[in-house]
Amino acid sequence: MIAVLVAVAVQVSVTPLSDHVILIRSPRSNMVASFGGDGAVVAGAMDTLSTAAVAETLAVRSTPSRRLVVLDIAGLASAGQGDAGWDARGALVIMQESAVRRMPRAFDAAVRRPRSEFSQFFSIEMNGESIHAVHQDPGYSNSDVLVHFEGANVIYLGESFPGDGYPHIDAALSGTLDGLLKTLDPWARPDQPDFRPRFVGARGPLAGSADVLAFRDMVKAVAAEVGRLKAAGKSVDAVVASHPTAPYDQRWGHGLVSAERFVRDVYQAVR
């Protein structure tokens, strides 16, 4: 039974986004990868259960002898995972410095701390694709990163746009409501002829700017209602009981983060 569960856990699906860029979906997270003659770059929240399947997916599409770069983005799926075993596969693993500094110095034999880190910006050109990783203001955490695959016009938003439901604003990781909204605001507008990016969240399906707009507006509306109730002297339990997410649960209430968890996060975040 254990072997069967593990086999199911490491299956991934692949969606082409351009000639050299794909969306890789595991049961726990989304990743975006560029592949080709230069090697491969993969960005997302890495976890040990999906590493083998993702590595195999990239190996059959890239020149094996060339470089493999992993942009490991902190998220719910990657918590406690170290480099998810990518260093042992010969990859250069890069992570935002705040996420690296939260990690213990030693893991078990299968994983380790990423060898490389960046502060605000990391850029690489591979397979004709310009890839930019940009540190964002603290939203989910103080290590939130947006990754732009410029040629494919694909933007990985990670936990700032979970894709499967409500966001987590983790105060223990210095996450803030204002930072979350600041990350979303530039992308939360209707599609236009000169503005048609595709967005990849931490989980969930490929999205468009209209989806990001609806998500941002939902966060702002819930925050406004929670703030109103908090200002009126309501306790966090009373605010949760008032169910301020009710108008949005049908669309956003089925993800990894429950409506109650989201409301409690927002209550702590609003002033």
CA nearest neighbour of 149 among 201, 198, 187? 198
In whole angstroms, give the CA distance from residue 150 to residue 197: 10
The end-to-end CA distance of the chain, in Å, is 49
Q: How many CB atoms lie within 10 A of CB 106?
A: 9
Residue pLDDT, tens place only, 23-65: 999 999 999 999 999 999 999 999 999 999 999 999 999 876 6
Q: Where are the domains of the chain?
A: 2-216
Residue pLDDT, tens place only, 61-91: 987 667 889 999 988 888 788 889 999 999 9
Q: β-strands 198-201, 154-158: how paired?
A: parallel
Give strand ranges (E) for 182-264: 198-201
2-216 has which fold? Metallo-beta-lactamase; Chain A (3.60.15)
Sign of CA dihedral 80, 110, 101, 23: negative
User: Is the full-model pTM beyond 0.85?
Assistant: yes
CA nearest neighbour of 181 among 226, 245, 211, 136? 136
pLDDT string in tens for the chain (271-residue length): 233 333 345 789 999 999 999 999 999 999 999 999 999 999 999 999 999 999 999 999 987 667 889 999 988 888 788 889 999 999 999 999 999 999 887 676 678 889 899 999 999 999 999 999 999 999 999 999 999 999 999 999 999 999 999 999 999 999 999 999 999 999 998 877 778 899 999 999 999 999 999 999 999 999 999 999 999 999 999 999 999 999 999 999 999 999 999 999 999 999 8
